[in-house]
Structures are given as C-alpha cells and as structure tokens.
Amino acid sequence: MSDVFVSYARPDEGQAVRVAETLRSAGYNVWRDDELPAHRAYADVIEERLKAAQAVIVLWSAEAAKSQWVRAEADAARSAGTLIQATLDGTVAPMPFNQIQCADLSRWDGSADAPGWRKVAASVATLAGPGESGAKQEGRPARRSNSICVLPFANMSGDAEQEYFSDGISEDITTDLSKISALAVTARNTSFMFKGQSIDVSEVARKLGVTHVLEGSVRKAGSRVRITAQLIDGATGDHLWAERYDRDLTDIFAIQDEISKAIVAALKIKLLPEEKKAIEQRGTSSVEAYDLYLMARQYWISGNWGDIRQVQMVIRICQRAVEIDPHYAKAWGLMSLMQSILQYTFGAGDDDGLTAADRALSLDPTIAEAYCVRARHLYEAGQSEQSDQAIAQALELEPNSWEVNHEAGRLFYLQRRLAEAAGYYEKAVLLDETDYHTWSMLSSVYEALGNREGVLRAAKMVVSRSERAISQDPTNGAAFGSGAAGLAALGETERVKEWIQRALLINPDNQIMRYNFACLTALHLSDPEAAIDLLEPIFADPIPVLLKNAFTDPDLDSLRDNPRFQKMIAEACDRVGFDAAEFARAIPAAAT
C-alpha cells in the first residue's frame, strides 16, 4: 500500500502532481486519485488508501477549503494521526485544522531546498520513515503484488514522422492494462520520462516501485507492421515473455489485444469478463481512421503553434478520419477542439466546434475534449460559472489528458486566474515531453505571480524543448518564438534578438508569434516602442482574441500608460466593433 496519500482540490492538480513526483523521486510510494481503478467505487478506494497511508498530505487552497472531499480526508487523517498540511495559495486551513502547523508552498517551484518543502519532507520522514535518499540500504517505494510500467515503444521505422504511431501504441497498451483491476500501472506521463534514454530496466523498476516492465519497438512500413514486446521481471531482469508480431497493419488492434492478454497470462492474473470486454473496445474498427487520429493529435501537440495552417491541417485530417468511420468519437472530439481554436483564437472558420462536440458526446459521453469546447463557448458567451462547470467535467473524465489540462490552463489564463492556470499548465508539460509552448505560458504566468524561481525553471525548459523542435523542423517559427521568450527570461538578450529576426523571416504572417514577441520585448527587453512596433501590424487587422488578450495580458502591463499603445488599441477596437471602455474596465477585475 501507499506510504503517502495526497489530498487536494481538482483545480490544484498541477501542484499535487509536483508534490507526488517529488516524493516519489525521494523513494516514497505515493497515491493520489489519478490511480482510481475503473471497477471499484470511488469512496471505497479513497477510504482504503486513507487508512493504509502512513502520512496524508492535505494541500489547502481557496478551492480545497470549500471541498467536502478534502475536509473529510483531512479529518480522517487528523483522527489517525497522519495529517500533514500545506497551503498552496496562502489560504489558512479551515477550522479545526487551523490549530495544526501548515507549511507554505505558495511560491514553491519544486525545489527540495525550499523552506516550505523541507517542512513537508521532514514531517513525511517522521511519519513514513526515510525515503530512498535517507535510507541506509535498499529503501525503495513499496511494490504491489503485480505492477507494471509500459516504457515508450521505440520507433524503428527509420522515419521520425512515424513517432506518433509508436507513441500511440504505447499509450493504448498502457490504457488497456489500466483496465485490469489486479494490476497497478504506472501513468503514461511517468513512463514517457524515459523516452529516448539508454536505461537499465531493473533500475527503472526500482525507481518506480513496480514488479515488471514492458518494453518494445514498432516498425511500420506501408501496409505492414512489426511489433516486438518483452515483459521483464523488475527484480531479476529476466524475460518472462517475449514475442514478435509481423502482420498486416490491419491487424494492429488484434496485436494490442494479444500483448495485453499475454501479459495477463504471464503474470497469472485472472481477467474478469468485463475487463476482457473493456480491453477489446477500441472506439473504431478502422485502422486507417485510427492512424489518422494519432497523426492529427501529434501535429496538434508538437506542431507549429500559432500558425493557422497547423490547425486547419489537423481539422482536415480529423474530417478524413470521421469520413472513414462516422462513429469514431475521439476523432470528432479532437476536430471540435480544433474548430473552436480556429474560430476563437484566429477569428476564422464558420464553426465554433459545438456541432462536432455534440456529435462526439452522442457517440461517447466520456469524450473530454468536447466538454473543453463547451467550456470555451460558454466563456466567450460570458457564462463563466457554466464554463467552469464544463471544464471541471472534462477534467473529471480525463485528468491525465494533455489536451484537457492545456485547455483548462488557457481558460484560466484568459480570466487572469493565474495560480489556477499554472497548476494545469504544470500538469500539461508533464504529460507530453515535446510540448514547448506550454512551458512558455508557464514562464509568463510565473512572471506575473512574482515567482522568479518558477520563471527560470520554465525558461530553461522552453529553450531546451524549442531547440529540440527546431532541430527536427528548422522552419518551426513557433518554436523560435517560444524559445526566444525563454532566452529573454534567462537574460540572453543577443540570442533573443537573433531568434526573433530568424522567426520573422521564416514565418512573417504568424500573428500569434509576433504578438508573443511583443510581450517578451515589453517584459524582458524593456523596450516599449519596439514592442508597439511589433503589435502595430497585428492590430491593423486584428484577430479578435489577440485584441482581447491585449486588455488582460500581464506581459503588456508596462505599455498600458503609453499614449501610442492606447491609441493603437482604441483604433483596433473601432475596426472590429469592440467597446474599448468595457474591456478597459475588466482589467482590474481580471487581475484580482
């Protein structure tokens, strides 16, 4: 069972993930509600884990203080003598918990040396014993009887663009195994941290506290696919099972089923009838539609963000997928999200995605992306409370979805609810190792929150990931844009100017990239006139969302008293029919 139980409110999930991962890296077995099995009642599992935990960390925030679940978990831990408290936003723990010491994590950026974290870590060590770093010998996370990590399958196709396919296979096998009640499965975002690394499988098993590791490779060529898979005993490094599948691509779903069932057999697990049925459900019977969906999703996550052509391309791919299989709910859901972004971000297209979202939910009411579309539609209609409810539904359905966490972060950022935005952006960057744009957003959020350590951490990551994206595609203007923002935060002024010039040469029509350059010029280069020079071509024919952003974006706060900026914004509002005075009145409210 778990050494440590983490209790938190759903909007604070990003911070909860960081707490859990930091403890795991110290050798503790940590449980939070992303590991809820599909076959058991929520309340039963929570009660079982609470009773078994040696330490219960309650993360208080304004939202957590209102949560009956968090209060109940805190009360159970207080009664058991296992309660450890921390505040994420300065909120004082509610009565009667305010009589117990509470660590301050309101500005914590993940550093193990931060005073607030040292207090939490010391309490965990007192209640649960030392983690791996404090143990004398083999201190390690407690293993469950059967637990597994599915490492990312290697792409052996000789074509980097086929990476989406091997990643998709790995994710699907992880999802399949997660449906088996007798098997604990490491989350996708944790296993993908090892992607592309030369690793010792036994060391991976030790670090993650799992009994077994699955590794493999995928070679896709034309209509053929070759998949190899090996199940390895984490303690001994021995192969318990290995197989190579050389088949037609049309057999891909059958191969995935066979791998999952072979693992079940090798581990001598009894597969319940409903679990067998759940594993065999694929969402589509068309391999072509499945391949197109995986391709579209990868183009969305790692493509040239801010370029309207990227969004239009993803929509076209999804449209083709649903032409092939009109009942493919996932493809409808992704298409609806892209249509929403096309309209609300670029002011283009005649469809805000609601029709496709409704179609997705009529086929499968668990498609979280469709709720994201509803949330954005409601926000744009001024119905903030209903928008929050819709995004909460999406997060409840898919708490570990990159798309959902990214969209939640975007919604809260637009409302200038920056602490909440940071939590979801933090979760998003953990969920996909190719994501550079979200790191750039995190840098901006932490700058506005006055979290200098967070800014530097995010800036280093956005530069690293942008450089990797540029090495794969030297024409990726968005990666240059995000990377330039990271370099600016790190004080590398000359490289910033070089990257801006190069990006504008490569992609001069990318208005979102140009807008971001204006933000970093105003914020980091302290050159308001140059920032306005960058904004003027945008606001001569503005995308509505950029004009709205200009009123609340904290990166542009230094320009607000500039007469030239004020005149430019007023004229742009006249062009698109916005009420400039109404937007100006919204700025102080949004900043609170």
Question: What is the per-residue pLDDT for 285?
Answer: 87
Q: Could you tell me if 153 and 169 are in contact, meaning their C-beta atoms sit under 8 angstroms apart?
A: yes
195 pLDDT band, cuts 50/70/90, is confident
What is the tens place of the pLDDT at every residue in 495-540? 998 988 888 888 887 888 888 889 889 988 889 999 999 999 988 8
Query: Over 70: is that where the pLDDT of 429 sits?
Result: yes
Q: Which of 361-365, 426-430, 480-484 has the highest mean pLDDT?
A: 361-365
User: What confidence tens digit (pLDDT) does each residue in 54-88 have?
Assistant: 889 999 988 888 776 788 788 778 777 788 999 89
Percent of the chain with pLDDT strictly greater than 90 = 21
Average pLDDT of every residue of the chain:
83
- List strands edge to edge, sheet with 83-87: 30-31, 4-7, 55-60, 83-87, 102-104
Rama region for 392: left / alpha / beta (φ>0; ψ in -120 to 50; rest): alpha
pLDDT at 338: 93
Give residue 41's pLDDT: 47
- Name the fold adopted by 4-134: Rossmann fold (3.40.50)
What secondary structure does DSSP assign to 375-418, as a single string?
A: HHHHHHTT-HHHHHHHHHHHHHH-TT-HHHHHHHHHHHHHTT-H
Q: What is the CATH number of domain 292-534?
A: 1.25.40.10
Question: Quick one: pLDDT at residue 584?
Answer: 58
Say what the pLDDT of residue 440 is. 87
Identical fold between 4-134 and 147-282: yes
Largest CA distance in the chain: 73
Please check the confidence at residue 315 and state whether its pLDDT lies above 90: yes
Cis bond before residue 96 (omega within 30° of 0): yes
How many Å apart are CA 555 and CA 62, to the nearest integer? 25
**Mean local confidence (pLDDT), 393-397:** 88
**What residues are paired with 217 via a beta bridge?**
154, 228
Summarised one tens digit per residue, pLDDT across range 345-356 is 887 878 889 999
Burial code (b: 16+ CB inside 10 Å, e: under 16) for 214-244 equals bbbbbbbeeeebbbbbbbbbbeeeeeebeee
Flag whether pLDDT at 112 surpasses 60. Answer: yes
pLDDT at 580: 64
Predicted confidence at residue 360, as pLDDT, reads: 95
CATH of domain 147-282: 3.40.50.10610
Q: Tens digit of pLDDT for each residue in 121-152?
A: 888 887 777 765 444 334 344 444 688 889 99
- pLDDT tens readout for residues 212-260: 999 999 998 888 899 999 999 988 888 899 999 998 888 888 888 888 8
The full set of domain ranges for the chain reads 4-134, 147-282, 292-534
pLDDT tier, 25 (very low <50, low <70, confident <90, very high otherwise): confident
> CA-CA distance, 178 to 184, in Å (whole number)?
7
Percent of the chain with pLDDT over 70: 90
Q: For the chain, give me the number of helices (H) and strands (E)?
A: 27, 11
Angle subtended by helix axes 384-397 and 402-414, to nearest 10:
160
270, pLDDT greater than 60 = yes
pLDDT of residue 547: 82
Looking at residue 391, its pLDDT comes to 93
Six-digit token string for 98: 């305010």
Of 33, 25, 71, whose CA–CA distance to 53 is shortest?
33
Query: pLDDT tens digit string along 446-497?
Result: 888 888 888 888 899 899 888 988 887 787 877 888 899 899 889 898 999 8
